[in-house]
Structure 1
């Protein structure tokens, strides 16, 4: 097995192809300068248009293109759109009043879970039923989407109905 190996040749280290007959592409050298004064040269194909801005290979700073006389080429930075934040996208979907109401509902829910405050009557909608006893009442959330009533909302509705009956009986 050892006698069949290639000797005296570093495979992959050297090319067996010569440089004879190879025609290199025409190229141009363009010089850039950073704000710190560092100059660096970048090679481009002769038919390529050199960009007005290029990052320095040493420092990573942005360099601006110099013309043949060594003066900076006039450059206008492209106008950038302001970045849309999560808040901007949220305001596209809901008004501030809706957001305040959602916040209040969530805060009430968290306070109820912790037992630190009494829950106020929901303002988004009243329970709607068809009258069947086994049916879960449906309420509409802030966006008008129907959802099932929670156990706490059921208890609050029952308490309010009981209070309304006792008030009506007293009159």
Structure 2
């Protein structure tokens, strides 16, 4: 049985708030953006605000542009490279052999000295 609560289902301070209590909202305009997956997003901006050229698509996360026919290309994801992969980009196998031989010669010389 209900406890006879007259304001059941409401919060303290809740109630209809119209523009008279909130103040007038700023004039807005909606701008369409399209991503490479043909998703359209329409964020709203204040009329006097600067409109960005690109916007992140809320559905897939790709960059979206204002031109429906030519949306921005998806970013190219570079695979994770190990330290060895970066070293191999800078040095050839012959360079590696020369560095290894130099280090081994140095170690052998240290072992010979008392």
- How far residue 31 of structure 1 moved from its aligned partner, in angstroms, is 0.6
| Secondary structure class of the residue paired with 2:26 | coil
1:39-61 CA deviation, whole Å, 9 max, x = no partner?
A: 22111121221211112212223
Aligned runs of 1:28-39 on 2, under 5 Å? 28-39=29-40
How far, CA to CA, are the matches of 2:113 and 2:27 in structure 1? 84
In the alignment, structure 1 residue 19 sits paired with structure 2 residue 18: yes
Aligned runs of 1:143-154 on 2, under 5 Å? 153=111
In the alignment, structure 1 residue 40 sits paired with structure 2 residue 41: yes
Highest Rg: 1 or 2? 1
How far, CA to CA, are the matches of 1:36 and 1:17 in structure 2? 40
Residue matched to 2:109: 121
Unpaired runs of 5+ residues, structure 2, are: 73-81
- How far residue 33 of structure 1 moved from its aligned partner, in angstroms, is 1.5
- How far residue 62 of structure 1 moved from its aligned partner, in angstroms, is 2.2
How far, CA to CA, are the matches of 1:121 and 1:71 in structure 2? 69
How far, CA to CA, are the matches of 1:8 and 1:27 in structure 2? 35
Preserved CA contact (<8 Å) 2:39 2:59: no
In the alignment, structure 1 residue 157 sits paired with structure 2 residue 113: yes
- How far residue 16 of structure 1 moved from its aligned partner, in angstroms, is 3.9
Cα RMSD after superposing both structures: 4.1
